[in-house]
Amino acid sequence: MPIKPIDLQTLFMQLGQVGRQQAAEKQAPIIQQAMQGNEAARREAENSKTVHRVDEDKSGTGAIRTDDGGGSNTPAEGKHRDKEALPPPERETIKDPDLGSHVDVSG
């Protein structure tokens, strides 16, 4: 089926429109990404200008620790006193009665 001159004439007339359409399709993801970036920047600027209420649960404040020792102790002295006051923890030794009785020499 050969191409006739009338077909070429129709194609040439629509060539500009097809070129614009393909260029728009190629630029669409870039334009969409730029628009999303602008929207994110606008939201970030808007959030930075507003004041947000802090919940009591998320405040991150803990209980105030008070020492009963009195006086002005350095932190090193307080730690040393705590170590002397606590008895050393006893180590628990676990023994397996089957340990070492079965030797696998096959593999």
Helix (H) or strand (E) holding 101: none
Write down the residue that tokens 């998320």 correspond to. Answer: 58
Residue 51 has a pLDDT of 82
Residue 47 to residue 41: CA distance in whole angstroms: 10
pTM of the model: 0.35
Residue 105 to residue 102: CA distance in whole angstroms: 10
Residue 50 has pLDDT above 60, yes or no: yes
Residue 79 has a pLDDT of 58
Residue 4 to residue 23: CA distance in whole angstroms: 28
pLDDT tens per residue across span 63-83: 667 766 555 555 555 555 655
